[in-house]
């Protein structure tokens, strides 16, 4: 079989990916026969024809459920680094991940685990290139090799799986031949659109009326901010059967239009980095929720009766200072659907740890100005895996992690805590911590006492810290720093300096109340 591949490295590697799970001689013989048949068909010039046919054989060898997962990756632009978490969310919204893997009560972890298994299987076959997060050991992002993407788009065209706007003309060239298996009427039945946003967007979007009536998924990719208010309005009025809508990194104005209520089968929408201040009450129709302000988000949506909701990540800018606000905060952190929460602006005090939902795994606090040590509350939260205290989140001088505190925490960021002088980690605290970053805490005197007891640590990052702090961790003039012994067990230690000091970060904070980074997944 290696000879059949003509000695081409990529073809041989892909062939190895096909054979990796084949344990019987008869299976190898079958692969060999399929390879011979594919090569006889041939496409384009000889070298690329061989590579294409081996790559196509890899696709044909996939189980049915993985074929759709693979074809779906063609919806992303060329050389696009795809966030693994978002990809799995989209797979779930498309129905590629079995419903049983994300029923309410089982939690999204199961859905994510199944999705990661799918992605891992594609990576094992060398069909997808993946990047792993060092702190969590989970997939962080992935991408398709250029030739693998060509196969993806070619097969997607044969299956009428998706349409890219504007059309990528290169896929009619070289080794990829247009499929004769589909007629022009089939092209009108396309269910998924990938829209690369450019200045002349109006010249190619929307497509024909026949297309808009059948589209179920529409993802927009903006290389720079572009106003898509009119596009959103058009989609809400023309794309009535839309189930997935992604308008990340675009300008949508301050409020989502009421006509979004027309999208009655919507399962997933993302307005990440769109800085939408208000979601229209018509979202109640689209998502069976009401989201005209923060209180309604909490009471009618996140704690509502909708069992369709799978995943929510919220960034909320709001002052939690009055008794009513604190009661609202208690409801917010207890929302059973909430997985990621980023709170910006002041918080008089944190809710009792028992108020926190078991689905919440990632928490970020910014400009909270908490006077009491937040660790005393947060360390008791058993499922928290990522915690970031950024830009004056804590206004006190001392911080302490108690014994057995943070049983599941993997990642901890301490950034811009301008008054923090001392941080202590008691023995047996943070037993699973992998990654710690300390940045811009200009009064912190030394790395936390007890860090040497956190044997799970994989990486420590020290960024924009005073020279007196960093020297304690280095060998200087052939003399070891006073704190070097605390970190000698950590495999990776990074010292970093950037131009963005903490004062600049703090100055960029805006006023008002808004919702941001909004993902809603409905099942």
Q: Checking DSSP bridges between strand 217-222 and strand 192-197, what pairing results, if any? A: parallel
pTM of the model: 0.62
* Residue 58 in tokens: 């890899």
Give pLDDT, residue 490.
92
> 230-245 pLDDT, tens per residue?
888 888 888 888 888 8
Domain assignments of the chain as residue spans, ordered by start:
63-144, 312-513
Measured distance CA(298)–CA(513) in Å, rounded:
15
Which of 55-69, 102-116, 178-192 tops mean pLDDT? Answer: 55-69
Rg of the chain, C-alpha, whole Å: 26
Give pLDDT, residue 181.
40
Q: What are phi and psi of 196, to 5 degrees?
A: -85, 110
Helices (H), 315-432: 323-333, 375-378
Give pLDDT, residue 102.
45
Residue with tokens 């950037």: 498
Residue 142 pLDDT grade (very low, low, confident, very high; cuts 50, 70, 90): very high
Cα pseudo-dihedral 177, 180, 181, 183, rounded to 10? 120
More confident residue, 82 or 112: 82
Measured distance CA(497)–CA(462) in Å, rounded:
9
> 169-195 pLDDT, tens per residue?
544 333 334 333 434 444 446 789 999
Q: Checking DSSP bridges between strand 139-143 and strand 129-132, what pairing results, if any? A: antiparallel
In CATH, what number does 312-513 get?
3.80.10.10
pLDDT at 421 over 90: yes
Burial group, residue 510, by CB count within 10 angstroms (0-12, 13-18, 19+)? exposed
Angle at 437 between CA 434 and CA 438, to 5 degrees: 145
Give pLDDT, residue 168.
61
Mean pLDDT of 315-342: 79
Q: Is 31 helix (H, G, I), strand (E, B) or coil?
A: helix
Give pLDDT, residue 141.
95
Q: Is 194 helix (H, G, I), strand (E, B) or coil?
A: strand
Give pLDDT, residue 291.
26
Residue 436 pLDDT grade (very low, low, confident, very high; cuts 50, 70, 90): very high
DSSP label at residue 386: E
For 237-304, the DSSP string reads: HH-TT--EEE-TTSB--SB--GGGGG-TT--EEE-TTS---B--TTHHHHHS---SSHHHIIIIIITS
Give pLDDT, residue 507.
34
The distance between the two most distant Cα atoms of the chain, rounded to a whole number of Å, is 77
Measured distance CA(388)–CA(384) in Å, rounded:
11
Residue with tokens 């759709």: 68
State the chain's mean pLDDT as an integer: 77
> 145-174 pLDDT, tens per residue?
888 898 899 899 888 899 898 876 544 333
Which of 92-96, 198-202, 250-254 tops mean pLDDT? Answer: 92-96
Angle at 218 between CA 215 and CA 222, to 5 degrees: 155
Task: Tell me the CATH architecture of domain 63-144.
Answer: Orthogonal Bundle (1.10)
Give pLDDT, residue 497.
77
Measured distance CA(37)–CA(476) in Å, rounded:
66
Whole-number percent of the chain with pLDDT over 70? 73
């Amino acid at each position: 079989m290696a000879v059949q591949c003509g000695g081409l490295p990529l073809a041989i590697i892909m062939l190895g990916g096909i054979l990796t799970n084949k344990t019987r001689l008869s299976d190898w013989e079958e692969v060999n026969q399929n390879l011979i048949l594919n090569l006889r068909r041939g496409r384009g010039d000889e070298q690329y024809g061989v590579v294409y046919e081996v790559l196509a054989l890899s696709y044909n060898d996939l189980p049915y459920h993985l074929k759709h997962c693979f074809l779906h990756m063609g919806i992303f632009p060329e050389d696009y680094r795809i966030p693994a978490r978002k990809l799995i969310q989209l797979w779930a919204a498309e129905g590629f991940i079995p419903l049983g893997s994300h029923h309410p009560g089982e939690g999204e972890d199961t859905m994510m685990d199944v999705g990661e298994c799918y992605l891992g299987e594609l990576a094992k076959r060398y069909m997808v290139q993946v990047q792993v997060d060092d702190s969590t050991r989970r997939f962080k992002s992935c991408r398709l090799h250029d030739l693998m993407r060509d196969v993806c788009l070619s097969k997607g065209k044969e299956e009428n799986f998706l349409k890219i706007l504007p059309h990528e003309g290169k896929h009619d060239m070289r080794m990829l031949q247009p499929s004769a298996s589909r007629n022009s009427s089939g092209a009108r039945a396309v269910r998924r659109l990938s829209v690369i946003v450019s200045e002349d967007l109006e010249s190619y979007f929307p497509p024909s009326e026949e297309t808009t009536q059948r589209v179920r998924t529409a993802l927009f990719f903006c290389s720079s901010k572009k106003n898509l208010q009119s596009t959103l309005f058009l989609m809400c009025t023309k794309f009535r059967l839309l189930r997935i809508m992604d308008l990340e990194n675009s300008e949508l104005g301050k409020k989502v239009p009421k006509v979004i209520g027309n999208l009655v089968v919507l399962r997933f929408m993302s307005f990440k980095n769109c800085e939408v201040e208000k979601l229209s009450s018509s979202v109640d129709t689209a998502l069976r929720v009401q989201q005209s302000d923060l209180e309604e988000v909490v009471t009618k949506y996140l704690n509502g009766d909708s069992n369709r909701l799978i995943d929510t990540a919220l960034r909320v800018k709001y002052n939690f200072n009055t008794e009513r606000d604190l009661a609202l905060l208690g409801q917010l952190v207890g929302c059973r659907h909430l997985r990621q929460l980023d709170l910006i602006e002041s918080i008089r005090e944190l809710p009792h740890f028992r108020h926190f939902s078991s689905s919440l795994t990632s928490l970020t606090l910014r400009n909270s100005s908490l006077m009491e040590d937040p660790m005393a509350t947060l360390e008791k939260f058993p499922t928290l895996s990522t915690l970031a205290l950024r830009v004056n989140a804590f206004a006190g001088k001392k911080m302490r992690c108690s014994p057995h505190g943070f049983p599941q925490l993997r990642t901890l960021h301490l950034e811009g805590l301008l008054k923090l002088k001392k941080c202590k980690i008691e023995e047996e605290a943070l037993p699973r911590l992998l990654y710690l970053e300390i940045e811009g805490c200009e009064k912190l005197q030394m790395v936390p006492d007890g860090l040497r007891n956190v044997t799970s640590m994989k990486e420590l990052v020290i960024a924009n810290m005073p020279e007196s702090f960093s020297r304690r961790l280095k060998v200087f003039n052939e003399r070891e720093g006073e704190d070097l012994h605390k970190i000698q067990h950590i495999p990776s230690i990074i010292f970093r300096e950037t131009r963005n000091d903490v004062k600049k970060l703090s100055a960029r904070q805006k006023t008002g109340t808004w919702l941001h980074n909004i993902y809603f997944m409905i099942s």
